[in-house]
Structure 1
Amino acid sequence: MASQFILRQAQVKDLERINAIYNWAVLNTVATFDLEERSLAAAEVWFGNHQDPYYPVYVVENQGQVTGWGSLSPFHPRAAYKQSGEFSIYIAPEWTGQSMGDALLKVLCQEAKKLGYHTLLGRITSTNEKSISLAKKHGFWEAGKYHEVGTKFGQCLDVMIMQIIF
């Protein structure tokens, strides 16, 4: 049975749960190439950087608990890249498969358009077929591939660049 969830902008009170979801991915998946858990202090800096309205963070709340999150981030720090952004989405493992990632990517794309982004990109490990399929469902296409750029869990991994132009 599909869950009923709320999608909203993240608040400071959500940060510990956002970080816990991210750290689970760090330790158990190749969705991020971080190799060590992110400290709460580092998460606070990250969240502070996303207080700029141009780089929002959204959470999915289910039964009063944050069960996933997504963000828009700078694609590159140089000024000429300002209208290009990168999306990230993480869902708690016990809540996957309930369309939360779909809802998050939809709202991130809507926000990117509203904020004046020209393009949005996602860097997705090539073995992450579900995330690649999700991006394609929302109109992203494969813009390129970085071959064997990250090593995690003893694997040398490729990264797909998924892109949409608004």
Structure 2
Amino acid sequence: MPSHIVTDDDDPITVQSREQWMADFDDTHPCWVVEEDGQIIGWCGLEYFYPHPAFDHSAEISIYIDRHHQNHGVGSALLDYVNVNITRKLPIKTVISYIYERNVPSQRLFQSAAYDKVGELPQISVVNHELRTIYVYCRHFNLH
């Protein structure tokens, strides 16, 4: 795997390996998909940030756009859609995104959507036998 790859999945993802992950999404922490010509080309999920009721108004955001559809505005449109849903109806105050230091396109995407870089976790993970740093981005919303 080339060193510029930013995913941390070592094994292929299967439906079975993601069943519990999908089951954890709900009305307050949903997952959306983007389709084009009947094919899913991207998704964005708001996962519970921490398993304690004090953090129920926080979410960790993950976004993925198929590599063939990157740099075409799909990520921006999806993130805008998510932010509008948070603003209008979801009981979420704080959204946190963890982005690898090498994933400059994702950093730019979140910065353009008013997420602030609030910290970094130096050499916190090992990907392809290399230590990697993660940047922490955050955005606050008004609760309803």
TM-score by length of 1: 0.77
Q: CA separation of 1:82/1:135 partners in 2, compared to 1, >3 Å: closer, same or farther? A: same
C-alpha displacement of 1:66: 1.0
Residue in 2 that maps onto 1:103? 77
Alpha-carbon contact 1:30-1:125 (below 8 Å) kept: no
Count how many residue pairs are aligned between Structure 1 and Structure 2.
140
> Which amino acid in the other structure matches residue 37 of structure 1?
P
> Which amino acid in the other structure matches residue 109 of structure 1?
N
C-alpha displacement of 1:36: 2.0
**Does the alignment pair 1:55 with 2:29?**
yes
> Which amino acid in the other structure matches residue 127 of structure 1?
R
Q: Matched residue of 1:33: which SS?
A: coil
Q: Matched residue of 1:46: which SS?
A: helix
> Which amino acid in the other structure matches residue 60 of structure 1?
V
C-alpha displacement of 1:107: 1.5
**Does the alignment pair 1:115 with 2:90?**
yes
C-alpha displacement of 1:162: 0.2
Q: Matched residue of 1:104: which SS?
A: helix
Distance 1:110 1:123 in 2: 20
Residue in 1 that maps onto 2:41? 67
- Measured against aligned partners, the alpha-carbon deviations of 1:58-115 in whole angstroms (never above 9, x if no partner) come to 1111122111111111111111111110111111111111111111111222222321
Please, what is the CA RMSD of the aligned residues? Answer: 2.0
Distance 1:64 1:138 in 2: 27
Alpha-carbon contact 2:6-2:102 (below 8 Å) kept: no
Percent identical across equivalent pairs?
26
C-alpha displacement of 1:29: 6.8
Q: CA separation of 1:137/1:152 partners in 2, compared to 1, >3 Å: closer, same or farther? A: same
> Which amino acid in the other structure matches residue 140 of structure 1?
Y
- Measured against aligned partners, the alpha-carbon deviations of 1:128-152 in whole angstroms (never above 9, x if no partner) come to 1110010000000111100000111
Structure that is richer in helix per residue: 1
Runs ≥4 in structure 1, deviation > 6 angstroms? none
Q: CA separation of 1:109/1:28 partners in 2, compared to 1, >3 Å: closer, same or farther? A: farther
- Measured against aligned partners, the alpha-carbon deviations of 1:24-69 in whole angstroms (never above 9, x if no partner) come to xxx997544332223321212211111x111211111112211111
Alpha-carbon contact 1:123-1:161 (below 8 Å) kept: yes
Alpha-carbon contact 1:30-1:152 (below 8 Å) kept: no
Q: Matched residue of 2:84: which SS?
A: helix
Unaligned runs of 5+ in 2: none
Distance 1:127 1:29 in 2: 7
